[in-house]
Structure 1
Amino acid sequence: MQPDAAERIGEVKDHGGSLGNARLLFPHAPEPWIDLSTGINPHSYPLFDLPATAFTRLPEPDLVTDLCGVAARAYLAPGPQNVVAAPGTQILLPYVMSLVRPGRAKVLGPTYAEHARAARLAGHAVEEVESFDALADADLAVVVNPNNPDGRIVPRVELLRLAEQLRQRGGLLIVDEAFMDVGPAGESIAGDADRRGLVVLRSLGKFFGLAGVRLGFALAEPRIAAALASQLGPWAVSGPALEIALRALGDLEWHESMRGRLADESARLDALFARFGITISGGTSLYRFFQTPDTEALFGSLGERGILLRRFAWNLQALRCGLPADEAGWRRLEDGLAAWSAAKSPGTLKEIVS
């Protein structure tokens, strides 16, 4: 690759979840690591025995059709004709960014870095903006809703207004709802996927705790959905992913039960941090976001104890923390916070943990 092309595309950023990097930073940390750096549900959808044909045969087109129908019902999209299944939302990004001619792309940030990188891959001049109103003159606008990492919500009515503004000028609004499974359902724009000038992205990996399955969806008007499916080609989604997603997306009882569990555990996490003087300022029930002037000390202190949080180059006082998977993880996090607090204020440890 030529240097100028490499600079235009940009490097893939660290998005959290890299235990290899964590071990390099903290070579003496105890194992196993507790990875709280992602927003992935630690209580994954229960795995089950897959039919041998999921591995030995090419995926049947009928299964893909069935999956699109199940996804449409789960996400309250207009219908299966509006749904495209792909091997991860990440794969969809360059295709979706190429739905409009290269122009001005604006990403409402700070947020997940891959949207901007994918837009550059598609030839757009990319700008990250902090004001929703600043998206209005873009050719391509990207909103993550709920936002990662701070959980910001843009109301559905505002998104629809922006989509119409962009459509009238031949533009496109992309709304990434990777975390909407735990967001306010009334603000989801998935049910509006029939509208022109709009593409909605959904992901299986976050809420279902199945990131390794690599399955995502684009929801769009049928013409756009068909074009994206054509670009992906046949057998884009693996047989095992199809079988797992059909079961998981269709299990509405599990969805509701898990939403309640995550809400309880995120409240528990808020209370734990509050005991040590940290106020949560945002996030979702899958991850919590906060800012503290002691970021480096806290990140390092927990890292030395084998507990990984997510930090950000754009805000050196910000951290994101996911949910521990079990009681042992909760105890290690509590002990780690107590040790950090004691090192900061040695005389207050007994008072804090009592």
Structure 2
Amino acid sequence: MRGQPMGTPPGAGAPPAPAPAADGPDLGHHGDAEVGEGLVDLAVNVRHAAPPPWLAEPIAATLGDLARYPDPAPARAAVAARHGRAPDEVLLTAGAAEGFVLIAQALRGVRRPVVVHPQFTEPEAALRAAGHQVERVLLDAADDFRLDPARVPADADLVMIGNPTNPTSVLHPAADLTALARPGRVLVVDEAFADTTTVPGRPGEPESLAGRRDVPGLLVVRSLTKTWGLAGLRIGYLLGAPDLLARLAAVQPLWAVSTPALAAAAACASPVAVEAERAIAARLAADREHLVARLAGLPGVRVAGRPASAFVLIHLPGAAAVRVALRERGWAVRRGDTFPGLGPDWLRVAVRDPATTDAFTRVLGEILEA
């Protein structure tokens, strides 16, 4: 599938009137704005590790062939095979963020788009930039930000949700997500962090819908930038029905994904990559438990829910001032008040190795005592 014009997408109408800027949180703020020279980065949820040889070598090998236009077919076939799908059920993108832009641009005919928050802000930002009038469903902190499918309006024809959700680190049951699907609705599930999750006794990616072909209107958004530290390369993909992906491909620029990124996609879909991913997720789970235990011992700090991904969300009265104090001591964490449904007393902290966690929580404890 190529990102070339294919005519007017089915169901598309005249572009809606531009949506007004969202009141409240700054949807354009991201964790990379928090980091800086000399700061230990706990604000960005990208794993800090050099690419292994099986990934670095295919990427480097493309540098001698950059005069040729990218050919996405081999990478698309590799990604499809990984998820038990056909190649026309895969659309490669320049990072998961491009996927949200394509969805917003291609599905201009939707009448009632709903975004379930707190979650990654780019889906709503992309919708608003395309002129959509966005409705928010805010999950409750008192209920650990768990999804109640009944909260989503029955006539919503576009629903967007993350799983596991950034920034809450909640892993919603697949059954709750599929309960949102219905004829006439596009259900977008952001699985950018699906490969970071583990559940004892359930190998693979628990609660992932990436291989599901029986859910009507489902679009799964995936990213390869988190676990493999490829944020600068920009590579992700969408999984869904061929006719739905064709509508998105019609608004995608030609050759949107570079040849090095395509090599990375193919490598990350290989069996050796999947095996390595699961080992990394298992280590991450242990590191996450260590972080949660250390945070639980600090006065006034509450970890939200049962974290399941590469970050945890904490509630801390006076968190805004604490974040500034942490920066003065050399630590960058992610502010929570730019996520709809949160406020100034929330912080997101990336999971790192135990030594880094111990150093961070020691400094945080000193700040809280002071």
For 2:123 and 2:310, how far apart are their aligned partners in 1?
21
**Where in structure 2 are there 5+ consecutive unaligned residues?**
1-16, 139-147, 199-204
Higher helix share: 1
Is 2:103 the counterpart of 1:81?
Answer: no
Cα deviation, 1:151-188, whole Å, max 9, x if unaligned, reads 22332223223212xx2xx2211111111112352311
Identical counterparts, % of pairs: 30
Q: Tell me which residue corresponds to 1:142.
A: 160
1:137-286 aligned within 5 A: 137-164=155-182, 167=183, 170-183=184-197, 185-193=205-213, 195-250=215-270, 251-277=273-299, 278-282=301-305, 283-286=307-310
For 1:156 and 1:80, how far apart are their aligned partners in 2?
24
Q: Which amino acid aligns with 2:116?
A: L
Change (3 A) 1:54 1:36: farther
1:285-304 aligned within 5 A: 285-304=309-328
Change (3 A) 1:66 1:305: same
Cα deviation, 1:17-60, whole Å, max 9, x if unaligned, reads 225xx55xxxxxxx521111122222353362412545522344
Change (3 A) 1:8 1:190: same
> TM-score normalised to the size of structure 2?
0.79
SS at match of 2:32: coil
Q: Tell me which residue corresponds to 1:339.
A: 366
Greater CA drift, 191-200 or 236-245: 191-200
Q: Tell me which residue corresponds to 1:352.
A: none
Aligned residues: 323
For 1:227 and 1:287, how far apart are their aligned partners in 2?
34
Question: How far does residue 292 in structure 1 lie from its aligned partner after superposition?
Answer: 1.6
- 8 A contact 2:169–2:309 mirrored in 1: no
1:54-65 aligned within 5 A: 56-61=66-71, 64-65=72-73
For 1:141 and 1:334, how far apart are their aligned partners in 2?
37
Q: Provide the aligned C-alpha RMSD in A.
A: 2.6
SS at match of 2:131: coil
Question: How far does residue 120 in structure 1 lie from its aligned partner after superposition?
Answer: 2.1
Q: Which has the higher contact order (CA 8 A, sep 6+)?
A: 2
> TM-score normalised to the size of structure 1?
0.82
SS at match of 1:258: helix
For 2:125 and 2:33, how far apart are their aligned partners in 1?
20
Q: Tell me which residue corresponds to 1:318.
A: 346
Greater CA drift, 52-61 or 315-324: 52-61
For 1:81 and 1:256, how far apart are their aligned partners in 2?
27
Larger Rg: 1
